[in-house]
Amino acid sequence: MTYQLWYWPGIPGRGEFVRLALEVGEIPYRDCAMETDDGADRLLADMERDRAHPPFAPPYLAADDLVIGQTANILLFLGERHDLAPRDISGRLWVHQVQLTIADIVVEAHDVHHPIASGLYYEDQKTEARRRAEDFRQNRIPKYLQYFNGILRNKDWLAGDEWSYADLSLFHLIEGLEHAFPRRMATVMAECPQLTRLREAVKAIAPLNHYLSSSRRQPFGNGIFRHYPELDGD
């Protein structure tokens, strides 16, 4: 069976957290909205389909007769089905908990450049974005990253001896934050050696390494993690 992933084409976005799990797990999937030039239109049309379990927003994953929405929920499913997370209840819930915490900072990273409304342009909320960015840089990035760094102090991976989908997501979070806030991240990462170690360890996973150098890995752009120099700082 081949999964069908649906997500906005042209940006890594939240779909990327799912892609990384599929790629590293070497799980067959179609990235449906990336297959044709009218992918966004086809995604919108697919979203309109009458379903018992409609997704509120992309990404969602179609699998046999399941349609699963919410990034962390898709990963929970893939983790259980394809051994991308521990099987015991303690490890399974823990990995999901970390994933949900990553999801929290992802929302905040987005809202830095869209503090007023996701439906408005950045240019319409630049003043507010500067204020929010200052708090995000000074307070939120260190709080989250020191938390993740602390978890890894006595472990190779977030859940212990083996990588899980949350490690892949944490890798992508760090990449995204470095793209958006290179100056601030240079400062914060210097105090988070475990995160640097984790990032290198994730990069060394063979299928991921292969994926990162493929055309399937889309560059950051006008998505969640955006680089506006005026929002960055030491």
Which of 34, 133 has the CB closer to its own copies? 133
Identify whether the C-beta of residue 144 lies closer than 8 Å to the C-beta of residue 174. no
Considering beta carbons, is residue 56 or 204 the nearer one to its own copies?
56
Nearer to its own copies, 61 or 208 (CB): 61
Long-range contacts of 104-109 (CB under 8 A, 24+ apart): 104/144, 105/140, 105/144, 105/173, 106/14, 106/173, 106/176, 106/224, 108/136, 108/140, 109/136, 109/176, 109/177, 109/180, 109/224, 109/225
Closest contact distance (angstroms) between CB of 136 and its own copies is 8
Q: To 5 degrees, how large is the angle CA 77–CA 80–CA 82? A: 100
Give the shortest CB-181-to-its own copies separation in angstroms: 16
* CB half-sphere exposure, 17, CA atoms < 13 A: 31
Cβ 216 to its own copies shortest distance, Å: 26
Q: Which is nearer to its own copies, 135 or 191 (CB)?
A: 135
Strand partners, 3: 29
Shortest Å distance, C-beta 46 to its own copies: 16
Burial of 88 (0-12, 13-18, 19+ CB in 10 A): exposed
Find tokens 């960055």 and name the residue.
232
Task: Please say which residue, 34 or 68, places its beta carbon nearer to its own copies.
Answer: 68
Task: Give the three-class secondary structure for 69.
Answer: strand
CB 202 within 8 A of CB 168: yes
Q: Which residues of the shown chain bind its own copies in the complex (CB under 8 A)?
A: 53-56, 65-66, 68-70, 72-73, 76-77, 89-90, 93-94, 96-97, 100-101, 104, 107, 111, 115-117, 119-120, 125, 128, 131-132, 135, 139, 144, 147, 150-151
Supply the minimum distance, in Å, between the C-beta of residue 96 and its own copies.
Answer: 5
Shortest Cβ 206–its own copies spacing (Å): 29
> Which C-beta is closer to its own copies: that of 34 or that of 167?
167
Count of residues making up the chain: 234
